[in-house]
């Protein structure tokens, strides 16, 4: 069996990290990079057998690369504290590792997200494929904050079993993240020289709604699918409004 490390980034995740760690008990090595938690995240992680590195927060990509570098093995499963490996995915990963993964640089995982107590199986939230299993010799995190992405220089596989995702504890947290992330995204766009036009303000949010509800079938998730699509459109509208105003980072 090819040895596997799991790399997790966390900050103030004492309530969610134990479930994430329990779901990867099959791993040969688990490292958690903590961004300065003020709760019991660090103690809980160590108590559950993970190696912990405390590092001042420098952005999503930087934290994830630090975790990648700290892994003991070259093949790394990259997770966030609000994600869990389903039993079906654990079995699929084991089967893939048994092949030695020769010729591969990584694998894409479908991510199934929960919102208000139930999964969303349509719209822009699913299958939400994420490149999370990587050969770190061929991959590195990058992209604009807050949406870090990892790229690999080689062929990839597509797995079928889901990575489970619990992104928001409640509606208040969801709204707070819309405010924070739209500000960070707008600031990144402005730094790169991006500017908004009137049609960005007029059409981008409605286009998101059409994509989520109609093209991607979000209406099949009922009222929750509609709510998530509206919240997604709110993020898009706020981001482009901030770009148009020349402001970002929550201002």
Alpha carbon 157 to chain centroid, angstroms: 19
Same domain, 29 and 147: yes
Listed residue (77, 95, 98) closest to 24, CA to CA: 77
112 in any annotated domain: no
Residue 143 confidence (pLDDT): 85
Q: List 22's β-bridge partners, or say none.
A: none
Same domain, 193 and 82: no
Q: List 32's β-bridge partners, or say none.
A: 8, 52
The answer on pLDDT for 248 being more than 70 is no
pLDDT tens per residue across span 58-96: 889 999 999 999 999 999 999 999 999 999 999 999 999
Task: Name the band, by pLDDT with cuts 50, 70 and 90, for residue 249.
Answer: low
Cα dihedral across residues 102, 105, 108, 109: positive or negative? positive
pLDDT tens per residue across span 25-45: 999 999 999 999 999 999 999
Residue 50 confidence (pLDDT): 97
Number of domains forming the structure of the chain: 2
Give percent of the chain with pLDDT exceeding 70. 98
Task: Name the band, by pLDDT with cuts 50, 70 and 90, for residue 145.
Answer: confident
Same domain, 23 and 74: yes
Mean pLDDT computed over 171-194: 94
Same domain, 212 and 94: no
Mean pLDDT of the chain: 95
Mean pLDDT computed over 85-113: 96
Same domain, 141 and 194: no
Residues of the domain holding 222: 171-245
Same domain, 188 and 100: no
Residue 125 confidence (pLDDT): 96
Residue 144 confidence (pLDDT): 79
């Amino acid at each position: 069996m090819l040895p596997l490390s799991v790399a997790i980034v966390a900050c103030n995740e004492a309530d969610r990290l134990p479930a994430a760690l329990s779901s990867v008990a099959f791993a040969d090595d688990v490292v958690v990079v903590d961004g300065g938690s003020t709760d019991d995240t660090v103690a809980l992680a160590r108590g559950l057998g993970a190696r912990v590195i405390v590092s001042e927060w420098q952005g999503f990509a930087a934290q994830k690369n630090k975790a990648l570098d700290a892994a003991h093995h070259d093949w790394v499963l990259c997770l966030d504290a609000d994600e869990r490996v389903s039993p079906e995915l654990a079995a699929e990963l084991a089967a893939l590792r048994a092949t030695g993964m020769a010729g591969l640089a990584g694998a894409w995982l479908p991510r199934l997200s929960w919102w208000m107590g139930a999964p969303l199986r349509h719209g822009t939230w699913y299958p939400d494929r994420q490149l999370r299993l990587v050969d770190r010799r061929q991959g590195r995190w990058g992209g604009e904050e807050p949406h870090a992405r990892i790229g690999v220089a080689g062929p990839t596989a597509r797995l079928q079993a889901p990575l489970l995702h619990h992104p928001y504890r409640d509606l208040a947290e969801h709204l707070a993240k819309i405010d924070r992330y739209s500000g960070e995204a707008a600031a990144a766009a402005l730094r790169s020289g991006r500017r908004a036009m009137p049609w960005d303000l007029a059409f981008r949010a409605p286009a998101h709604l059409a994509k989520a509800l109609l093209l991607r079938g979000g209406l099949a998730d009922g009222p929750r699918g509609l709510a998530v699509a509206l919240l997604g459109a709110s993020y898009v509208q706020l981001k482009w409004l901030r770009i148009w105003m020349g402001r970002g980072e929550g201002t």
